[in-house]
Structure 1
Amino acid sequence: MPPRKPRPFDAATYLRRLGYSGPLEPTLATLCALHRSHLRSIPYDNTRFPEEGGPLPGNLADVDPDAAFDKIVVRGVGGICFELNLLMQLLLDTLGFATLSLAAGVAQDDGTFSPDLSHRFIGVHVDDELWLADVGFAGPSFIEPVRVSPQEQVQYGCRFKVTEQGSRFVLHRKGATGDWRALYRFRKRSRTVGEWDGFTERFQRFLGESGIVSTTMVGRATDTGHIVVVGRRHLKVDDGHETVSVLGPGSYDAVVGAVLGRGGTAVG
């Protein structure tokens, strides 16, 4: 039999996958509602990229939107930033929002940042202000869009702000306890897919043995925060309060399965 053709991008099907039936006007309220619904409905999952299990593409951002739509929306699985934020941006564009394709370097434990193209997310212009939308970051991060402003913004027990540092902007997060921590840094300009040509090899050199997808990383927003699993490390954020545990063999599959929502989110 010939291979099954992916179902093309369709906003109505996408909205059903999100369980969203609210207003669709390109307003801040709509953007916030869609963002919440997306993060709670569709998980981050790096175990299916590339889905065929072959080598990584030379251009991580050169993703077929229909293939990503079929995988994530129709068949009901998760994805990574290059898939999830691509689809979200297409949806926002379809609804009349003015968007930018942004790229970031992700903060590392030693205070440095990964290369600038490591993460793809979205800028959205609403009411003459730029807001960050990101449904493709494993977490913990923001559940509703964050305004590009040094003023603190509080949501679900966490604080966020965006500061300007030289030619870049840095997104910071602070939980209910602890210090401010950078999440990622970015330039405030729209990127083209061609800018990622050849980036995969450079990114793999930066990561070394850890690789891009060699460690399982899954995440999903909840009504009060985030649940993230990286390897065996389990992080739960509840109203800004974080708890960390190490998953044993008896609990790992159950927790990861719960994050991924295995068992019934397809709309095909």
Structure 2
Amino acid sequence: MNVFDVERYLDRIGCAGATGVDIATLRKLHKKHLMAIPYNGATQDFSDGVRLVGLDEDATFESSVVQGRGGTCFQLNRLFARLLTELGYDVTLLAASTAEGWEASGLDVEHSFNRVALDGDEWLVDVGYPGPSYIEPLLVRDAVQSQYGCQYRLVERGSRIALQRRGRVTRWSVVYTFTMQPRQWSDWKDMEDFLAQEIAADTGPQDGTKILCGRTFDNGQVVLKGRRHLTVRDGREEIRTITDDDEHEQLVSHLLSGEFE
């Protein structure tokens, strides 16, 4: 029996009845998804191996969306692409890599996200990045775009495009680099193999330093990476290092539940 259900999905992210195929609806779906479903790097069960290419979308929908546990780009952007496609949007899968991810794996498919073609324009759509990043779809164009106190721009870097972001008082920094080459899930086979090797070799302590989670609120985002806690509100950033274990555990719990404000 299929579990994936469009109406249930829309209701879960606070968008019941939002079935239009237009930019206003796309913006709403994107932002509400980020607010309702967290990025949660701890959701993937690798007990029976890494499954990126042959991901069970129905089981993932149940855990990530219905149960609200969230997920990573491979889970959330894949489900969101399916939702948009079933609503009638023209969706293309893309791949990206952060500087840190490239240094670790040497692969340009570290991150997955989507492009939507709509009324002659192309939009970047990404509900599976921990942040900070764009809260609403980003138009593919040369001009600087502003969202909730932050600015974004796309800069050509050789054969790749760098998505750059800056807050009100911060400098431009790269979120990730990518190409407009359409992808298919089989392209992530090398990433599967890399993650499997990393997991097999990981014997380090579980001390909270490998935590990676994030969630969006109405005018910003909060990200917890290891012990580094970053809040962006109206483009203003606040960074703290969490040294107390109890506070760290509480922050993870509140962020994943949405009770962090």
- TM-score, normalising length: structure 2: 0.88
Q: Report the counterpart of residue 54 of structure 1 in structure 2.
A: 47
Give the Cα separation in 2 of the matches to 1:152 and 1:235. 23
User: Which one of 57, 62, 65 corresponds to residue 70 of structure 1?
Assistant: 62
Give the Cα separation in 1 of the matches to 2:145 and 2:203. 34
User: Which one of 235, 242, 253 corresponds to residue 240 of structure 1?
Assistant: 235
Whether the 8 Å CA contact 2:101–2:110 is kept in 1: the answer is: no
Give the Cα separation in 2 of the matches to 1:233 and 1:160. 23
Deviations 1:102-145 (A, max 9, x none): 11011339999952100000100112111111000000111001
Q: Report the counterpart of residue 160 of structure 1 in structure 2.
A: 152
Deviations 1:209-229 (A, max 9, x none): 699x98111100011100000
* Deviation of the 1:159 alpha carbon: 0.3
Whether the 8 Å CA contact 2:107–2:191 is kept in 1: the answer is: no
Q: What secondary structure is seen at the aligned counterpart in 1 of 2:42?
A: helix
Q: What secondary structure is seen at the aligned counterpart in 2 of 1:100?
A: strand
For structure 1, the 5+ residue unaligned runs are 264-268
User: Which one of 233, 248, 256 corresponds to residue 260 of structure 1?
Assistant: 256
Q: Report the counterpart of residue 173 of structure 1 in structure 2.
A: 165
- The residue type equivalent to 1:47 in the other structure is A
Q: Report the counterpart of residue 266 of structure 1 in structure 2.
A: none
Q: What secondary structure is seen at the aligned counterpart in 1 of 2:28?
A: helix
Whether the 8 Å CA contact 1:100–1:189 is kept in 2: the answer is: no
5 Å-filtered alignment, 1:180-219, equals 180-202=172-194, 215-219=210-214
- The residue type equivalent to 1:194 in the other structure is S
Q: What secondary structure is seen at the aligned counterpart in 1 of 2:218?
A: coil
- RMSD (Å), alpha carbons: 2.7
* Deviation of the 1:84 alpha carbon: 0.2
Segments of 4+ in structure 1 off by > 4 A? 109-114, 203-211
Whether the 8 Å CA contact 1:123–1:130 is kept in 2: the answer is: yes
Give the Cα separation in 2 of the matches to 1:210 and 1:146. 39
- The residue type equivalent to 1:169 in the other structure is I
For structure 2, the 5+ residue unaligned runs are none
Give the Cα separation in 2 of the matches to 1:68 and 1:110. 26
Give the Cα separation in 2 of the matches to 1:91 and 1:220. 20
Give the Cα separation in 2 of the matches to 1:109 and 1:243. 24
Q: Report the counterpart of residue 98 of structure 2 in structure 1.
A: 106
Q: What secondary structure is seen at the aligned counterpart in 2 of 1:142?
A: coil
Give the Cα separation in 1 of the matches to 2:218 and 2:187. 36
- The residue type equivalent to 1:250 in the other structure is D
- TM-score, normalising length: structure 1: 0.86
Whether the 8 Å CA contact 1:106–1:113 is kept in 2: the answer is: no
Query: Closer, same or farther in 2 for the Cα pair 1:167/1:112, shift >3 Å?
Result: farther
The answer as to 2:126 corresponding to 1:130 is no
Relative CO higher for 1 or 2, CA cutoff 8 Å, sep ≥ 6? 1
Percent identity, please.
Answer: 36
Whether the 8 Å CA contact 1:153–1:161 is kept in 2: the answer is: yes
Give the Cα separation in 2 of the matches to 1:21 and 1:262. 20
